[in-house]
Amino acid sequence: MDIDYAREASVIEGNPSLKSIEDSISKPLSTKASWKYWLALMFTSSLLITGVVCLGFSFYYGTGLWGNNNPVGWGFPIINFVFWVGIGHAGTLISAILFLFRQKWRTGIARFAEGMTIFAVMTAAMFPLIHVGRPWLGGYLFPYPNQHALWVNFTSPLLWDVFAVSTYFIVSFVFWYVGLIPDFATLRDRAVTKMRKFIYTLFSLGWRHSSRHWQNYEMVYLILAGFATPLVLSVHTIVSFDFAVAILPGWHTTIFPPYFVAGAVFSGFAMVQNSLIIIRKVFNYEHIITLDTLEKMNKIMLVTGMMVGYAYGMEFFIAWYSGSQPEQFAFMNRAFGPYMWAYWIMITCNVVSPQLFWFKKIRRNVFVMFMVAVFVNVGMWFERFVIVVSSLSRDFLPSSWAYYKPTLVDIGILLGSFGFFFTLVLLFAKTLPVVSIAEVKSSADGSQPTHHGGSSHDK
Amino acid sequence: MTNKPIYAVTGLFEKPDEIINAAEKVAYEGYLNYDIHTPYPVHGMDKAMRLPPSTMGYFALVLGLSGAVLALFFMWITTAYEYPLVIGGKPFFSLPALIPITFEVTVLLATCGTVISMLFIFFKMPNNSHPLHDTKFMKQVSSDKFGVCIEAKDKFFDKEKVKSFLLSLGATEVEEIYFDVDDLKNKNKILTPKFSGFLVFVIVLTSAASYATLNIVMYMPPFDWMMTQSRLNAQGTTDFYENHSAMREPVEGSIARGFMPYAFIGQPDSAGKYLENPLEMTEANLAVGKKKFNTYCSPCHDYYGRGESRLKGRFPNPPSLHTDKTRNWPDGRLYHIIT
């Protein structure tokens, strides 16, 4: 094959004109939804309603409806919380870290991934509130001046979580909105109906595509990416502190922060992969979200999958190497105890299944990669299940050991969280441009001046 | 048409190379009040336009540093100064444990502050009545054309000269942009009855909703601060036991561990007579007393001892502490009541 490596490969296929990029991205916003869209929305919203009903029961009758028992006080709510926060991490990784590394292929998927971050963090944030049993008192988690002069405990990992997750949500939202402003302006100038025009005008803030603005805008975007990068690493690090700062065998390990971050990126990419494959098919974005992009995502999943696999192995090694008996017992119990079924599901899905991505044929096969990504999602959910449940159910005191079994209500709330997330994703796909118009235009072929300083002589 | 004040003359270009070239020429001619409009950021434009580097980085630096200082100072005030609590035997101000929150607040303030100052201070947004909006020019540069806009307030501005200059650079379309006279007249849209009425409506609605939530809804089950609970009270009744008492009776003659019988049960007068206050009346003791009162007593007695607290009416109302009767009680009797 004769490839010119001095030339950057184009990230947008088929060399479309700027106008046609804009047309195809804004098409779903101005056309009536197909029956497929309504069917999908009906499916996700019925999941959502299941969750709402189960939550209603939980609040009415109390949290005794859940499987949480005495040693396993964390159960499903915390598993789901960690799972959903992790899902969000891929969005920030794509939009911020890949931006800093100047990876142009991110332009087609960044906006969608950022949206998923916001929805995943919203879904995740529900679970600690559900878990406290009285979600309307969640305001007490924040430091507020009160007549008793009492303040929250700033040295507690649980409070770090409150700050990390809320900062993460706000910063992701700001990042997302800043990216949307030029697109709102473009949509404003395309709008035909008065209502649309009003809404887009409102959100575009009067953006004029001015180069004097673009200069500062690009600088701020860079700064945001620079801040979001350590932020995203800090969020799952702090989530892992919830476990690692405790003294429970199986939790009290220094490998947790990097291991959790790698796992978060791994599961997040799998979720973005799953959603994008559907979106590019439904909205005909095959030329913007290209097969090359998906292949690159598969490579990242292979890398992070192996990082996670390394962490699983290293946990066992350190347990043996530490010479600490409770630690050794906790890990033997994990792999061969009452929860060995969950442990081996986790290993199969997270470590074995991504190994298929060594083969180029499989990396470029949409159906197989979709299935692998589903496996990864399942596996990563089970990873959190294994960590939370196996350590808690058998701690230092054998007399207090107990087996944890989720109830139907638990499962209903989990399904509801998926319904909530995907309903928001579907609404997002229909109301806002899921691909950044300005960014895709700027990285299309021939959209930037040639390297001769722009003077208008021949190329 | 001609009596409207002119804002600018604009020209449209087709290719990114052309617009870079045009920007260089416009800057070379000495124009200062001009702008280049492109649907996306074009590389090398700030160099072609001879723009100074963006100063947004300094904003982020200052805001981020102030976030860090603010967070650390706040946590020091609350955990080490105002209400020091021993947690796990650690120092009151244990820096490593405060780093995560310091970091988060730094990021939060730096990002939000930078974006807000860029949008609302630098760009003076929202600005939807700018003369460029809704022009043919804006609609084109919003999509796939590149435009030059030379404003009338520039000192080299001359309508015909600018037009021919833009055409000589290769502009495909040249347009004159005018101010909207109505927009110029109505500066303060915030004062129009429609908008101020809307503001008043929002204010009334939010105040009413907050009042209702905090003072009515939060006192209704199941939000009622755990007032109604499905449990047995110590002295209550139940059908579970045969004697319908919620409590099991202790074995005859048992005494609670560590229990020292109090000598003056039901005798407030003797308590006042025989008990003495071991504390001396010093500034420091009074300050501790005030703090304890504010923490433990004020929820019912309120800060001034009038019994006008937030919880008034939810429990038996405490009497005012300012009557002659209570003021003249000896310390021992007050101790009897408190304990």
The Cα-based distances of A87 to A451, B6, B171 in angstroms read 40, 53, 49
Mutate to test the interface with B, among A154, A168, A197 (most CBs of B within 10 A): A154
- C-beta atoms of A154 and B75 within 8 A: yes
* For B107, nearest residue in chain A (alpha carbons): A227
What is the residue type of B13? Answer: F
- C-beta atoms of A155 and B79 within 8 A: yes
Chain A residues within 8 A of B101 when measuring between CB atoms: 154, 159-160, 163
Q: What pLDDT was estimated at residue A145?
A: 86
The answer to whether B177 contacts chain A (CB < 8 Å) is no
* For B34, nearest residue in chain A (alpha carbons): A212
Q: Read off the pLDDT band of A9 (50, 70, 90).
A: low
* For B297, nearest residue in chain A (alpha carbons): A148
String of b and e for A272-289 (b: at least 16 CB within 10 Å)?
A: bbbbbbbbbebbebebbb
Percent of chain A with pLDDT over 70: 96
The answer to whether B168 contacts chain A (CB < 8 Å) is no
3-state secondary structure B118-136: HHHHHCCCCCCCCCCCCCH
| CA separation for the pair B312, A280 (Å, rounded) | 61
Regions of chain B where pLDDT drops below 50: 1
Q: How many Cβ pairs within 8 Å bridge chains A and B? A: 228
* For A173, nearest residue in chain B (alpha carbons): B112
From B15, B98, B144, residue closest to A154, measured CB to CB: B98
- What average pLDDT score do residues A140-149 get? 85
Q: Are B176 and B157 in contact (CB under 8 A)?
A: no
Q: What pLDDT was estimated at residue A284?
A: 79
Q: What pLDDT was estimated at residue A4?
A: 61
Chain B residues within 8 A of A442 when measuring between CB atoms: 40-42
The answer to whether B266 contacts chain A (CB < 8 Å) is no
Q: What pLDDT was estimated at residue A377?
A: 94
Tally the residues of chain A: 459
Tally the residues of chain B: 339
Chain B residues within 8 A of A182 when measuring between CB atoms: 39-40
Residue A223 has pLDDT above 70, yes or no: yes
Mutate to test the interface with A, among B7, B26, B40 (most CBs of A within 10 A): B40
Chain A residues within 8 A of B119 when measuring between CB atoms: 181, 205
Q: What pLDDT was estimated at residue B1?
A: 47
Chain A residues within 8 A of B64 when measuring between CB atoms: 227
The answer to whether B72 contacts chain A (CB < 8 Å) is no
Q: What pLDDT was estimated at residue A225?
A: 92
From A60, A153, A223, residue closest to B87, measured CB to CB: A153
- C-beta atoms of B126 and A206 within 8 A: yes
From A205, A216, A448, residue closest to B42, measured CB to CB: A448
Token representation of residue A103 = 């990876």
From A186, A216, A231, residue closest to B56, measured CB to CB: A216
What is the residue type of A319? Answer: A
From A167, A178, A450, residue closest to B104, measured CB to CB: A167
Complex-level ipTM: 0.90
Q: What pLDDT was estimated at residue A375?
A: 94
Q: What pLDDT was estimated at residue B327?
A: 84
Least confident range from A105-114, A337-346, B250-259: namely B250-259
Q: What pLDDT was estimated at residue A340?
A: 93
Q: What pLDDT was estimated at residue A459?
A: 37
From A149, A213, A456, residue closest to B123, measured CB to CB: A213
| CA separation for the pair B305, B319 (Å, rounded) | 8
B70 versus A139: which is more confidently predicted?
B70
- C-beta atoms of B21 and A147 within 8 A: no
What are A62-92's pLDDT values in tens digits? 888 999 988 898 989 999 999 999 999 888 8
Instruction: Match 């309504």 to its residue by tokens.
Output: A38
From B20, B24, B37, residue closest to A210, measured CB to CB: B37
- C-beta atoms of A215 and B20 within 8 A: no
| CA separation for the pair A318, A320 (Å, rounded) | 5
What are A192-209's pLDDT values in tens digits? 888 889 999 999 998 999
From B21, B23, B108, residue closest to A167, measured CB to CB: B108
What are A420-453's pLDDT values in tens digits? 999 999 999 888 888 888 888 888 877 888 755 4
A32 versus A341: which is more confidently predicted?
A341
- C-beta atoms of A148 and B35 within 8 A: no
Q: What pLDDT was estimated at residue A7?
A: 60
| CA separation for the pair A205, B37 (Å, rounded) | 16
- From the list A212, A221, A199, the residue with the least C-alpha distance to B128 is A199
Q: What is the DSSP string of B107-120?
A: HHHHHHHHHHIIII
Q: What pLDDT was estimated at residue A454?
A: 42
Q: What pLDDT was estimated at residue B271?
A: 80
Q: What pLDDT was estimated at residue A8?
A: 61
What are A371-429's pLDDT values in tens digits? 999 999 999 999 999 999 999 999 888 898 999 999 999 999 999 999 999 999 999 98
- Name all domains of chain A by residue range, CATH numbers in brackets: 61-442 (1.20.1630.10)
- C-beta atoms of A227 and B111 within 8 A: yes
- C-beta atoms of A448 and B51 within 8 A: no
Close Cβ partners of B166 (under 8 Å, ≥ 6 residues apart) = B9, B10, B11, B22, B148, B150, B174
Distance from CA of A170 to the nearest CA of B (A): 8
Chain B residues within 8 A of A449 when measuring between CB atoms: 16-17, 19-20, 42-44
- What average pLDDT score do residues A221-243 get? 93
Close Cβ partners of A310 (under 8 Å, ≥ 6 residues apart) = none
Least confident range from A13-17, A47-51, A103-107, B70-74: namely A13-17
What are A285-332's pLDDT values in tens digits? 888 888 888 999 999 999 999 999 999 999 999 999 999 999 999 999
Residue A214 has pLDDT above 60, yes or no: yes
Distance from CA of A115 to the nearest CA of B (A): 18
